Amino acid sequence: MAQNRPIVWLDDEETTYNAGLAIQATPHEAPVLGVGPDSAIGVGRPQMDLVEDFIHDPPAGSVVRFETAGDGHEGHWGF
């Protein structure tokens, strides 16, 4: 996480608020995007678009963002 390259984490179980707090508490320089797909259908097209945008134009610094399917939030929520 110290190489300052964007990190994308796809996981249908571990992209929770507490997991995001744990990542935020770990020293890192790279921006992190956690994507929690719907475990019944996998990664959706909007989530894949978000991943591609994040990789091609990552936010500056040690930003942590999570986007989860079916969590009632629009887009992503960050820390």
pLDDT given for residue 1 in this prediction: 57
| Mean pLDDT for the stretch of residues 10-30 | 80
Report pLDDT digits (tens) over 29-69. 888 898 988 878 888 888 999 999 999 999 888 888 888 77
Higher pLDDT, 6 or 27: 6
* 71 or 58, which is more confident: 58
- What are the tokens at 32? 């992190």
Which residues are CB-neighbours of 14 under 8 A, at least 6 positions away? none
Q: Where are the alpha helices (DSSP H) in 1-79?
A: 17-25, 45-56
Question: Which H or E run contains 77?
Answer: strand 77-78
Query: SS3 of 45, please?
Result: helix
Q: In the predicted model, what is the mean pLDDT of residues 15-40?
A: 82
3-state helix, strand, coil in the chain (%, to 5): 25, 25, 50
Instruction: Strand 7-10: give its sheet, edge to edge.
Output: 7-10, 32-36, 64-68, 77-78
